[in-house]
Amino acid sequence: MNSINGYLDNATISYNRILNFKGLDDYRAYARTAMDLVRNDHVLTAQVTDCIEYLRSIAQVKEGGQGVSPVEITTRTEQFIAMFNGLRNDAAALKDKAENMKAAL
């Protein structure tokens, strides 16, 4: 996750530099869309990491001989899948938008 945070930080620095450009409204709009895509991917990566950690914690609980609630696991998994699909769809839409904007530059 640290490398992803570094990537987000570098993208933010580059994006902030672009905001200072004068007379390049189309390029700034493209950069804004690309930055939205980077942020979306960052959230998605964080959510996947959280899900993996949750699954690890379930395995540890089970290994410790404690019971695990199938209802809780199912609920959390369904929530994760819904969130993941929403972020994936958002990413696809942002990528298409950015590609169309880049082609028009």
What's the pLDDT tens digit per position in 8-23?
788 888 888 888 877 7
pTM: 0.76
27 burial (CB, 10 Å; 0-12 / 13-18 / 19+) is: middle
* Predicted confidence band of residue 25 (pLDDT cuts 50, 70, 90): confident
Report the percent of the chain where pLDDT is more than 70: 96
8 Å CB contact between 98 and 33? yes
8 Å CB contact between 87 and 44? yes
Place of tokens 């990566």: 45
* First-residue to last-residue Cα distance in the chain: 33
**Is 45's pLDDT higher than 70?**
yes
**pLDDT at residue 1, as a whole number:** 59
